[in-house]
Amino acid sequence: MTYRFYPFLPLILVFFLSCTQVLAKHEANEPTDGTVNSFRWLQSPLSLSDVQIHNKEGERTVLSQFKGKIVLLNLWASWCSPCVRELPALDRLQQRLDGEDFIVVAVSIDSDPDLARKLFIDQLSIENLKFYIEPAEEIGRFFPVDVLPASFIIDRKGRAMGLLRSYVDWDDPQADTLINRLLAGVSATTLSSEKEQRNQAQ
């Protein structure tokens, strides 16, 4: 089950129109099987270099600082149970694929930084991911925040190339395979074509 809210619908619509889809019923537009096979791959990557987030000390980080890496950006909130379930698996994914070329950036959109930080560090004991936070009204200018959890693949040039707005089993071997293919340079166009072929075969 996913959780949703709609305070920034106009901004969300801009994002979806650029992805050539109009925001409607989530389950119909974005079916998911709980694996990375449900990623939607964008034909026209969107630049995210200017997006800013803050670390646990309140210091600003700009996504352009991660250029040169494949970034898995995950939006979550403390009140979203699928998000909380997903975080430890993301932590393990980072541990397995740790290196100079890949990073998981988990960003809380909570309005209460202390609550989110306590959950992330004290309760879940996340060890391999850094804590980042950005209020929904700010990060919602760049990403749709009506459905959580939400994951975005960002290429080495700082451009969004794919998104998946639902819970994902990041312990599934398919997740490692996807990330390794992205690291090897497989394009969004190729991944989109492969997904279309799978859907046609079903």
Residue 87 reports pLDDT greater than 60: yes
Give tens-digit pLDDT for 156-173.
999 999 999 999 999 999
- Tokens encoding 75: 């939006």
What pLDDT is recorded for position 134? Answer: 97
| pTM of the full structure | 0.85
Pairing of strands 70-76, 60-62: unpaired
**Number of domains composing the chain:** 1
Helix (H, G, I), strand (E, B) or coil at 133: strand
Find where tokens 């959890």 sit: 149
Question: What's the CATH number where 62 sits?
Answer: 3.40.30.10
Range of the domain at 102: 3-201
> Torsion-angle region of residue 112: left (phi > 0), alpha (psi -120 to 50) or beta?
beta
Residue 60 reports pLDDT greater than 90: yes
Composition of the chain by helix, strand, coil, percent to 5: 40, 25, 40
Residue 125 reports pLDDT greater than 80: yes
